[in-house]
């Protein structure tokens, strides 16, 4: 019930649609009772008193009745459907917003495909369930109560006999509902698994082709899909059982009513029209009862999906913005790390790192792969919070700086070129959303991207495809550099920023980066040591710890790890 009540809160803004749908549903439910009640006087008028006026009017009345039912059904279905769609739209917006606000650790723990499945599949299940549940509450409940009134009015003894079977339906409905909820939740989890396989396969299609993995990935997807079918098959089985069980149970009531009611008619305790009216009402009574039981199964399926959705909505980010946080000025670009330690899970990846980057300095982070270089700059950008120690920008701990101010202060060019399925201009404009076209062109020129952009079919308005697939690696990297140039932040983080460039492009971009780094504090991660020979300070990391620091010349003379790395790279 707490989940269902919470789900209904999303319907609250669209109450007038629900009211209209509820009125139409109530009319539909009441019409069945009215029809059953009118059977007895109509039969008497037509077959006993031979009233030709009533007989002549009856066909038209039937047509008008069904037209009215059709109008009511349309109003109910349309307004309830749109209310459910709008409510679920709000849920989908909220879960996406909460996803975006969660920190990177959350995304490292959860598969992308699973998160996509919750936004698409689970929210879709919620949408299908909400409208059906609310419609059932109004239409079927009112129909059930109205028809109960009719049968009790006609004959209370037969009414008691006919409803004695209703409690027998509660136990199997409850058992089946719980099973449906459990299986639906597990099925949605499995849907997330094969959604992840789909997402990873399509995003890594180049590697799939390069290593001839088509058959292997097809088999992996087939097995995941088969497992999902197993849960779907169980859900269909439990859902399909409710109606047959209900029909068997209700047949007991119908048989008892026929036996006792027929005896009353034959003994003249009850007229045939009255008995026929009772039978009609009783037959109609079991229809909303079956629908309510089916709605209960849908409700369990909907609640199972809602629980998965609310898990994401209720997830609390580990990195929280300080409500009393500071904003920092452009002059605050001195960075200091004091005894920083960090771990993702159990083992520390960064161990007691201390370093200082003065204003305008270029700090190079080098060392073997897995040494903690990318993690360290991620801590500076506060993608993660340190477990121990401090990171200061100016005189402020970054945990005491507002996220907006911190992000405006830092520009990142990552080793993975992140571009969106949009135009070239818009991909550069992400660095400064309100940038003019002239500013975009200027940034592209400094990044040596303008020439190849102008060779594109639509210039700056050319769509670059999913993740920039229509561009070369060097072109993608230069767009990322242009984006960072446009942001014009006082602190730069360059994580293998020139790794995808050919020698000629690297020389051009390196000149642009030299200009960009002037009067800015810059952290450069580089495996290609030729790009950091002139760094103000070179920090050598191994196993998350600083093993050496100094200038290129001084570190070469130390004959330590840096010297060995240089020897290996410059052996020729």
Residue 263 host element (H or E): helix 214-266
Sequence ranges of the domains in the chain = 2-90+98-312, 335-569
Nearest Cα to Cα of residue 339 among 373, 386, 381, 375 = 386
Residue 425 has pLDDT above 80, yes or no: yes
The SS3 of residue 153 is: helix
Superfamily of domain 2-90+98-312: ABC transporter type 1, transmembrane domain (1.20.1560.10)
Q: What are phi and psi of 84, to 5 degrees?
A: -65, -40
Nearest Cα to Cα of residue 25 among 71, 84, 86, 83 = 71
The arithmetic mean of pLDDT across residues 282-299, rounded, is 73
pLDDT at 54: 60
User: Which of 108-117, 482-491, 504-513 is modeled with the greatest confidence?
Assistant: 482-491
Query: Which DSSP letter does residue 327 get?
Result: P
pLDDT at 39: 65
Nearest Cα to Cα of residue 191 among 148, 224, 157 = 224
pLDDT at 152: 78
The arithmetic mean of pLDDT across residues 406-424, rounded, is 82
501-560 pLDDT, tens per residue? 666 666 766 776 776 676 788 898 887 777 788 888 999 998 889 898 888 888 888 888
Residues 6+ apart with CB under 8 A from 244: none
CA distance 503 to 524: 18
Please state the separation of Cα 571 from the chain's center in Å.
51
pLDDT at 38: 67
Within this chain, domains 2-90+98-312 and 335-569 share the same CATH topology: no
Residue 491 host element (H or E): strand 491-495
The arithmetic mean of pLDDT across residues 159-188, rounded, is 71
Q: Cα(first)–Cα(last) distance of the chain, in Å?
A: 72
pLDDT at 504: 63
- The Cβ of residue 469 has, within 10 Å, a number of other Cβ atoms equal to 12
Nearest Cα to Cα of residue 22 among 72, 68, 57 = 72
Residue 572 has pLDDT above 60, yes or no: no
The SS3 of residue 435 is: coil
Instruction: Please state the length of the chain.
Output: 572
Nearest Cα to Cα of residue 337 among 322, 320, 354 = 354
178-206 pLDDT, tens per residue? 777 677 777 767 776 767 777 677 666 76
Using an 8 Å Cβ cutoff, are 295 and 133 in contact? yes
- The Cβ of residue 225 has, within 10 Å, a number of other Cβ atoms equal to 16
CA-to-CA dists, residue 293 to 33, 76, 180, 187, 307, angstroms? 20, 20, 12, 22, 21
User: Which of 187-201, 256-270, 459-473, 481-495 is modeled with the greatest confidence?
Assistant: 481-495
Model pTM greater than 0.85?
A: no
Residue 262 has pLDDT above 80, yes or no: no
CA distance 83 to 22: 12
Using an 8 Å Cβ cutoff, are 563 and 555 in contact? yes
Using an 8 Å Cβ cutoff, are 512 and 481 in contact? yes
Residue 233 has pLDDT above 60, yes or no: yes
Superfamily of domain 335-569: P-loop containing nucleotide triphosphate hydrolases (3.40.50.300)
The SS3 of residue 328 is: coil
Q: What are phi and psi of 396, to 5 degrees?
A: -105, 135
Q: What token pair was written down for 260?
A: 């006792």
pLDDT at 23: 83
């Amino acid at each position: 019930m707490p989940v269902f009540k919470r789900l209904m809160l999303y319907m609250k803004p669209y109450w007038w649609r629900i009211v209209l749908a509820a009125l139409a549903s109530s009319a539909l439910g009441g019409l069945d009772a009215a029809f059953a009640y009118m059977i007895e006087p109509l039969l008497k008028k037509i077959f006993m008193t031979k009233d030709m006026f009533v007989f002549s009017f009856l066909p038209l009345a039937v047509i008008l009745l069904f037209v009215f039912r059709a109008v009511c059904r349309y109003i109910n279905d349309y307004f309830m459907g749109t209310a459910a769609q709008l409510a679920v739209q709000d849920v989908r917006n909220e879960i996406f917003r909460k996803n975006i606000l969660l920190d990177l650790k959350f995304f490292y723990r959860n598969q992308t495909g699973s998160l996509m499945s919750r936004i698409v599949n689970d929210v879709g299940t919620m949408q299908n369930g909400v409208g059906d549940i609310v419609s059932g509450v109004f239409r079927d409940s009112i129909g059930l109560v109205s028809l109960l009134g009719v049968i009790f009015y006609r004959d209370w003894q037969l009414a008691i006999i006919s409803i004695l079977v209703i409690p027998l339906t509660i136990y199997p409905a409850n058992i089946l509902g719980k099973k449906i909820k459990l299986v639906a939740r597990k099925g949605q989890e499995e849907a997330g698994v094969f959604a992840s396989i789909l997402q990873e396969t399509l995003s890594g299609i180049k590697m799939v082709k390069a290593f001839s993995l088509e058959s292997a990935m097809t088999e992996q997807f087939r097995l995941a899909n088969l497992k999902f079918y197993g849960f779907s098959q169980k859900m269909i089985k439990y859902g399909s059982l409710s109606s047959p069980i209900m029909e068997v149970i209700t047949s007991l009531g119908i048989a008892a009513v026929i036996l006792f009611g027929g005896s009353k008619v034959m003994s003249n305790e009850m007229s045939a029209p009255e008995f026929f009216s009772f039978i009609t009402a009783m037959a109609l009574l079991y229809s909303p009862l079956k629908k309510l039981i089916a709605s209960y199964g849908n409700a369990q399926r909907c609640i199972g999906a809602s629980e998965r959705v609310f898990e994401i909505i209720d997830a609390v980010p580990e990195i929280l913005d300080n409500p009393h946080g500071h904003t920092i000025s452009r002059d605050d670009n001195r960075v200091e790390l004091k005894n920083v330690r960090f771990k993702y899970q159990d083992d520390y990846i960064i161990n007691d790192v201390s370093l200082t980057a003065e204003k305008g300095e270029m700090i190079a982070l080098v060392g073997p792969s897995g040494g903690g270089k990318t993690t360290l700059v991620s801590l500076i950008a506060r993608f993660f919070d340190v477990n121990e120690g401090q990171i200061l920008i100016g005189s402020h701990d970054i945990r005491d700086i507002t996220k907006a101010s911190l992000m405006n202060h830092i520009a990142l060019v990552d080793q993975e070129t992140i571009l969106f399925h949009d135009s070239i201009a818009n991909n550069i404009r992400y660095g400064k959303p309100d940038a003019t076209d002239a500013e975009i062109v200027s940034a592209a020129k400094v990044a040596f991207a303008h020439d190849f952009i102008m060779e594109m079919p639509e210039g700056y308005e050319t769509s670059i495809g999913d993740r920039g697939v229509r561009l070369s690696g060097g072109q993608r990297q230069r767009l990322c550099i242009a984006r960072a140039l446009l942001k014009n932040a006082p602190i730069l983080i360059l994580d293998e920023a020139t790794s995808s460039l050919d020698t000629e492009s690297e020389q051009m971009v390196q000149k642009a980066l030299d200009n960009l780094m002037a009067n800015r504090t810059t952290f450069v991660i580089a495996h290609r040591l030729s790009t950091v020979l002139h760094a103000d300070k070179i920090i050598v990391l191994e196993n998350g710890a600083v093993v050496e620091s100094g200038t290129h010349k001084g570190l070469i003379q130390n004959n330590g790890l840096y010297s060995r790395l240089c020897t290996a790279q410059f052996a020729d």
